[in-house]
Structure 1
């Protein structure tokens, strides 16, 4: 996948140099469809020479807007939209030739993504925990994400669990990437044993689908919870401490989660928190992760700006700060901005606004996490000593929850 990124990046950068008048029309090493599309669009509209900063915008768009490693066909369309929007804003009027440019880029990227995802998806054997759920029934849907759908399930002896499934019959790039991500999630989760990480139970496969069995976490995600209740500092403190505990387990094993956010953190009826959705997680040493992964609004600056030379565990710390902010404000970070604005804000190291109405300890915790320089962010172990996550109270949780009006 990194090879695809490099090829696409080089081709787009080469074409943008030409667009800016810095060289000949040259698009080496990339799909001929994109080559033709770029040449025809740039030569047919002389106004394009005035698009200042186009190369930089495209570079960030392809690394950020396309989402993790071109993982879905929808994300490729987001990239096409970002490029087209950047070009339109630079030239002023809406030039008709750009309509074909977007679809040509979409098609070319999808063809490359499909080929690489197919190779990657076939490299691992599935670990299996024998004997679990030999016979089971699928119940109602619990949720749907980029890489599969999760259902409640029921064994013949009466045990409930969650099952995530992906289709084996979808041969498009999105389907192949979903299978690869589920295999990666199985590979990692099967090695983990921690109270604050969702427990892997086993796998199954039939002619149509691949399944992963997980413990069922009854109250859903923290994103669902904060929409129902106004979370107080005491609850957010307790949840954050548990998130940190799960992250410490991962970071001690050099695993970066890469997609920490409220939607990927589950909570049960006792208030126990579980990190989930490990499809993007990677083992890293010496900040050597060089592929984009995660959800844009929670991404760290070094993830958006891949030319920084790679990233590592500190990327999770930035995402954690965004997640704590999300719980306390009941809004995703940068919720007030459009997608391209978010890219520029994060790429420039600008953290999301942290309201002055938050408590001193909460603000300090969040701002320590949201330092643009990853080397200045505290480690998980250091954050576990922060006053915010050592919030002590004897008040009953039920007395503190406030139902929103």
Structure 2
């Protein structure tokens, strides 16, 4: 099933689920639509190659002539807002502002990820994602976001600001990491729109996920609801784990077992393009993923490991990508 929409002269191809908001008095800014499959695939291949060889990957003949890739490059270069630092620095608490978020931000469009989010901008700033929390557990969710955000870990989606207005909380998260690099799709979308993922790409993604989960465990929490739907991937291959409001306190007598099993199910979805988050963790296509491959060895290890450190020590798939500086 092809989820792509042909790009226009102003924007790259996108996935269904992006809905522009209508404004009579405001212009619709250029959004960060998800991009074509070849773009993500080649980005990750280039970065994985650099991690392994410390040199540029070989150029594929005809690759530069790809029409979709050229559209993506043109689309991303047409709108590059000035980078604006977050108001909140690492170690600072995100304070709740009792006002409407739309006095500070301009709505641009809505994006259907795991939940519907509003992508917005502040004049001269980067794109951000705004999620609304309402109901009796809204305060609890914001409190958890504040606790997790304390040290501003790299592979968790950055919680930037919070507003309280008309009975709801509006949490503001990063959407554009740096100028031009946007968190375009979830891993669920990524698994569907690209060609079969390579072992190097899989390792590159899983390494970043484990780094985020390792941070949570270090402060006594586990995500507890990890799926491809709440993990975002940027146009440059950067990973951000969302859904931190679901985090739960780790039981003292065990490690983050639910998160480790979650990593296994995430790997299964990426390897087989099929979401299955219950039942045994196993390889379902041995012709595509031989039983003696490092990817399968790692996958099976997630079914029994009790700590992230055990995955790191016994999972040779991750060896090449153990140094974050080389990613």
Normalized against structure 1, the TM-score is what?
A: 0.48
Other-structure match for 1:160: 127
Other-structure match for 2:110: 141
Other-structure match for 1:389: 318
Other-structure match for 1:15: none
Q: Distance in 1 between matches of 2:260 and 2:236?
A: 26
Query: 2:225 pairs with 253, 259, 272, which one?
Result: 259
Q: Counterpart of 1:251 in 2: which secondary structure?
A: helix
Other-structure match for 1:207: 166
User: Number of matched residues?
Assistant: 216
CA contact under 8 A between 1:181 and 1:280: conserved in structure 2? no
RMSD value, Cα = 2.7
CA contact under 8 A between 1:324 and 1:366: conserved in structure 2? yes
Segment drifting more, 255-264 vs 133-142: 133-142
Deviation per residue, 1:180-201 (Å, 9 max, x gap):
5632442334324121111110
CA contact under 8 A between 2:119 and 2:128: conserved in structure 1? yes
CA contact under 8 A between 1:264 and 1:275: conserved in structure 2? yes
> Residue 220 in 1 paired to residue 185 in 2?
yes
Larger Rg: 1
CA contact under 8 A between 2:223 and 2:248: conserved in structure 1? yes
Other-structure match for 1:239: 205
Deviation per residue, 1:146-199 (Å, 9 max, x gap):
xx63110111333321111134xxxxxxx334x256324423343241211111
> Residue 355 in 1 paired to residue 285 in 2?
yes
Bigger relative contact order (CA 8 A; separation at least 6):
2
Q: Counterpart of 1:279 in 2: which secondary structure?
A: helix
Q: Alpha-carbon deviation of 1:127?
A: 4.4
Mapping of residues 6-405 of structure 1, within 5 Å? 127-128=94-95, 135-143=104-112, 145=114, 149-167=116-134, 175-177=135-137, 179-180=138-139, 182-216=141-175, 217-229=182-194, 230-287=196-253, 312-333=255-276, 346=279, 350-357=280-287, 358-359=289-290, 360-371=293-304, 377-385=305-313, 386-391=315-320
Q: Alpha-carbon deviation of 1:285?
A: 3.5
Q: Alpha-carbon deviation of 1:227?
A: 0.8
CA contact under 8 A between 1:185 and 1:277: conserved in structure 2? no
Q: Distance in 1 between matches of 2:130 and 2:105?
A: 10
CA contact under 8 A between 2:111 and 2:118: conserved in structure 1? yes
CA contact under 8 A between 2:129 and 2:174: conserved in structure 1? yes
Q: Alpha-carbon deviation of 1:281?
A: 0.4
Q: Distance in 1 between matches of 2:263 and 2:224?
A: 10
Gaps of 5+ in 1: 1-125, 168-174, 288-310, 335-341, 372-376, 393-405
User: Which of the pair is proportionally richer in helix?
Assistant: 1
Q: Distance in 2 between matches of 1:183 and 1:247?
A: 19
Q: Distance in 2 between matches of 1:363 and 1:351?
A: 10
Q: Distance in 1 between matches of 2:250 and 2:241?
A: 18
Q: Distance in 1 between matches of 2:299 and 2:230?
A: 19
Q: Counterpart of 2:252 in 1: which secondary structure?
A: coil
CA contact under 8 A between 2:228 and 2:269: conserved in structure 1? yes
CA contact under 8 A between 2:255 and 2:307: conserved in structure 1? no
Deviation per residue, 1:212-248 (Å, 9 max, x gap):
0110042221111111012111111100011111111
Deviation per residue, 1:114-156 (Å, 9 max, x gap):
xxxxxxxxxxxx94177999611122112254xx631101113
Change (3 A) 1:181 1:264: farther
Q: Alpha-carbon deviation of 1:312?
A: 4.7
Detail structure 1 runs of 4+ shifted over 6 Å in the superposition: 129-134
Deviation per residue, 1:11-57 (Å, 9 max, x gap):
xxxxxxxxxxxxxxxxxxxxxxxxxxxxxxxxxxxxxxxxxxxxxxx
User: Which of the pair is proportionally richer in strand?
Assistant: 2
Q: Distance in 2 between matches of 1:378 and 1:176?
A: 34
Q: Distance in 2 between matches of 1:129 and 1:201?
A: 11
Q: Distance in 2 between matches of 1:279 and 1:388?
A: 30
Change (3 A) 1:201 1:156: same
